[in-house]
Amino acid sequence: MNIAVALKGFATFSWLLVVGVIAIAVVRASKARPIKGATTMVIVLIILAVSITTISAGLVFIQPDERGVVVSAVQEKGFRDQPLQPGLRWVIPFAENVRIYSISRQTYTMSIAASEGDIAGDDSILARTKDGQEVYIDASVIYSIDPANVVQLHIDWQDRFENEVVRPLVRGIIRDMASRFGVEETVSSKRVDLVISITNELEKKFSENDLIMVDFILRNIHFSEEYAAAVEQKQITEQTALQAGFTVEQKKQEAEQARQVAQGKADSVVIEAKGAAEARLIEAGAEAKALEIISTILQHNPDLLTYQYITKLSPQIQVMLLPNDSPFLFPLPDLPTP
């Protein structure tokens, strides 16, 4: 339980008790029935209430995620140089008061969606790219107060740092960095470079204003309606061209396949013709060899040809004329008597 808060509540109750006792004493005195020792009781209650109030005014409990800036009437500069650290702390009652700041991480979001940003409605960042196109950027920044510099933050900005430091810095730096990239680069090849450049610049500027930049999130990039329509048309054209390229490639493949089939058939015909030609050459060689052998045999046996000739004669032949120098005599068949 926060002792400082409880003590302040008890101080308030003691003052109410003082007022109540005084009111009762006045009422009874008006009816000629005064309370014995009422004055002493009131004085004691007042002293008790003042004491508790004084003590409660000097006690401050700082949570672990908080730091306290002491504004002091007794300090020449009007404040303590060092912030109050977590725990139960004591300040000079009524001469000093404490301004508590949270040092936990905070997120500030700017979005085109009305329910997402810290400001209702379209709070996206309008920026113009290097090639003159308008883009709408949704972004979030995660940051915290620098615990070591919370006193200086209080002096410079007090509680205005979110609206007067965080918001304008983020919007201005995003616009500046977006102007260094082309519109297509911001959503494709150079998106990471854009985020890195924004993050580095924010870290530098936040540090100069006693804040710690934890992370930058580029949530989304929207285009103007005209450019979005142009991009859509370009994509349609590219898809159509790509489809046409696929069709041409398919036709090329079909033509190549047909050519390979025709080439296969032609090669088959050539191979078949070569086979037939080689077979004919082999056959002709065999015939030539056979004729050569026959010629050799006939050179040594010239009568063999006559013999072969006679054996091949048809049995129907009745008359044969032979050369007058033929050495052969053949029996003739009997001729019928006329």
State which of 77, 101, 125 marks the end of a domain.
101
Q: 129 and 191 share a domain? A: yes
187 shares its domain with 168: yes
Residue 239 has pLDDT above 80, yes or no: no
**Residue 116 sits in the same domain as residue 55:** no
Are both 91 and 142 inside the same structural domain?
A: no
**Residue 65: which domain range?**
3-101
Asked if residue 161 is part of any domain, the answer here is: yes
Residue 57 in domain: yes
- What percentage of the chain has pLDDT greater than the value 90? 40
For residue 69, the cross-strand partners are 99
Q: Residues 94, 120: one domain?
A: no
Judged against a pLDDT cut of 60, whether residue 216 lies above it is answered with yes
* pLDDT at residue 252, rounded to an integer: 84
Give the span between the Cα atoms of 320 and 270, in whole angstroms. 53
Task: Give the tens place of pLDDT for each residue, 127-183.
Answer: 999 988 889 999 999 999 999 999 999 999 999 999 999 999 999 999 999 999 988
Same domain, 113 and 217: yes
Residue 209 pLDDT:
96
Region 83-92: what's the mean pLDDT? 94
Chain CA centroid to CA 94, Å: 57
Total domains in the fold of the chain: 2
| Residues found in the chain | 338
What Rg, from alpha-carbon coordinates, does the chain have? Answer: 59
Among 29-38, 103-112, 315-324, where is mean pLDDT lowest? 315-324
Residue 329 lies in a domain: no
Same domain, 110 and 51: no
Q: What is the pLDDT of residues 262-315, one digit of tens each?
A: 787 877 777 887 877 787 888 878 777 877 777 777 677 766 666 666 666 666
Q: Is residue 120 part of a domain?
A: yes
Residues 154, 169, single domain; the answer is yes
Any domain includes 232: no
In a domain, 326, yes or no: no
Tell me the average pLDDT of the chain: 83
Report the pLDDT value the prediction gives residue 118, as an integer from 0 to 100.
Answer: 85
Least confident of 11-20, 78-87, 161-170, 192-201: 11-20
**CB of 108 within 8 A of CB of 115?**
no
- Give the range among 18-27, 50-59, 192-201 with minimum mean pLDDT: 18-27
Mean per-residue pLDDT for 6-22? 87
- The torsion region of residue 158 among left (phi > 0), alpha (psi -120 to 50) and beta comes to left
* Chosen domain end from 223, 251, 285: 223
Of 175, 191, 223, the residue at which a domain comes to its end is 223
On whether both 153 and 96 belong to a single domain, the answer is no
Verify that 16 and 96 share a domain, yes or no.
Answer: yes
Residue 77 phi/psi, 5-degree rounding, is -85, -10
Residue 267 is assigned to a structural domain of this protein: no
Please state which of the ranges 77-81, 107-111, 281-285 shows the lowest mean pLDDT. Answer: 281-285
Domain contains 284: no
What pLDDT is attached to residue 315?
Answer: 65
Nearest C-alpha neighbor of 170 from the set 109, 253, 241, 81: 109
Q: Does 23 share its domain with 51?
A: yes
Per-residue pLDDT band at 317 (split at 50, 70, 90): low
Are 145 and 182 part of one and the same domain?
A: yes
Burial environment of residue 185 by CB neighbours within 10 A (0 to 12, 13 to 18, 19 or more): middle
CATH (domain of 135): 3.30.479.30
